Amino acid sequence: MPHPVCPWWVGYFLASPLRRWLHNPTEILSPYLREGMTVLEPGPGMGFFTLPMARLVGASGRVIAVDVQPRMIASLKRRAAKANLLDRIEARVTSADTLAIADLASKVDFTLVFAMVHELPDATRFFRELAAVSKTGAKLLLAEPRGHVSEAKFAAELSAAATVQLVFNSPLTIRGSRAALLVKIGS
């Protein structure tokens, strides 16, 4: 049986401007992003964080958003086009087995993993793919909802990331979330 993922229609609620009260994307991400960066966002939904990241990386930057749900990606593309940001965003439909991002090997400066690792059947495999595309020193912001992910489960996710050279750098405070900043070590 496939591992459950957030239903596509919930994406409308997650992309709501009202959510900025809980999670302000610019406040959360601006300390880590700058113009010209290559950013990866697995599980972007309809682009709540994607569009602000595209603004932060500027015209010379690039955001690669990958999701298993075609409806989420289609909506993200519509929203990006409406915001005149589609030229900075590469949106891909992927499968449950792989992110299909090998073409990005050692090119990613920053990855946002927001509220989605708990939906995966194999966190270690997921983090292995992220580590392979991350530059040495690249940062990864991992955030999971407190309501779905216990402290022990979050610690297990951090441990899985560490096995593939994505190591804990510092805890982060994000409302309603367990969050940490990870850094890619080694090559």
Q: Tens digits of per-residue pLDDT, 94-112?
A: 988 899 999 999 999 999 9
Query: Token pair of 59, please?
Result: 């015209």
- Mean pLDDT over 56-70 rounds to 96
Identity of the amino acid at 10: V
Percentage with pLDDT > 70 across the chain: 88
CA dist 90 and 169 (Å) reads 28
CA dist 176 and 98 (Å) reads 28
- 92, 140: one domain: no
Question: Does residue 1 register a pLDDT over 50?
Answer: no
Residue 44 lies in a domain: yes
> For residue 94, which phi and psi values (nearest 5 degrees)?
-120, -170
Which residue has tokens 């409406």? 82
- 151, 120: one domain: yes
Confidence of residue 153 (pLDDT cuts 50, 70, 90): very high
Higher pLDDT pick, 18 / 109: 109
CA dist 32 and 25 (Å) reads 12
Number of domains in the chain: 2
- 77, 126: one domain: no
DSSP character at residue 32:
T
CA dist 99 and 4 (Å) reads 17
What residue numbers bound the domain in which 121 lies? 108-187
Buried b / exposed e across 112-133, counting CB within 10 Å, b at 16+? bbbbbbeebeebeebbbbbbbb
Burial (Cβ within 10 Å: 0-12, 13-18, ≥19) of residue 153: middle
Here the CATH number for the domain that contains residue 58 is: 3.40.50.150
